[in-house]
Structure 1
Amino acid sequence: MPETPDAKTRTGHQVIADCLKSLDSSPGVYRMLNAASEVLYVGKARNLKARVSNYARPSGHSARIARMIHETASMMFLTTRTELEALLLEQNLIKQLKPRYNVLLRDDKSFPNILISA
């Protein structure tokens, strides 16, 4: 796909806002990529549109998240049937891709806990 003249000057917020136009409320996994197509972050969502819209806000982010948004040049999305499928896919992608901004699930030293109550 040829780049438009302003494609290189779009901010991360603009890239994310453009992606929102094609998202629906499905559960799934999203990937934020930098200009070199390296995966910066892998996240999961019960509702992709709602979750990704949080990143489109221009303020209210920690310094780490603001830096990640600034570096975002494109995004990729995978929809799943359930939130549990999204969680498992997210964990596998983080372990495989080792994104820079995923610090909690990058190693095998910790595991998510699931509480089942009756």
Structure 2
Amino acid sequence: MHLLLERPDYQFFLRGADGGSALVNTRRLHTSFIIAPDALREHWPMHTATAMQPADLDDMFALHPELIVLGTGATQVFPPPIVLATCLQRGVGLEVMTNAAAARTYSILAGEGRRIVAAFIFP
């Protein structure tokens, strides 16, 4: 069997994530961050989804996503309803899932050329 390493045609890609870290390109990140195919915002000051407020979405909205994928750690934790309502009011989808599932979803949608933004929360 012949295996080839394919590199995506976008700048920032995820190799995987779990409850404690994520591998972005060749770097291991241990703090919360926001990623899009053409942007990486490290040290996002979020430690739990339950503490999120609408203003915490501003950096994501600045990237003009059609969908935001929120990875909430090792388990799925929903943000307050006002956060979900803010996304709906702006016409932006919000999917909440574990970090591992969010990494897979981001990779698939970014590979399809979708306007995706993913945010990963680490305690």
TM-score, with length taken from structure 1: 0.26
Q: Which has the higher strand share?
A: 2
Q: Which has the higher helix share?
A: 1
Bigger CA radius of gyration: 1
TM-score, with length taken from structure 2: 0.26
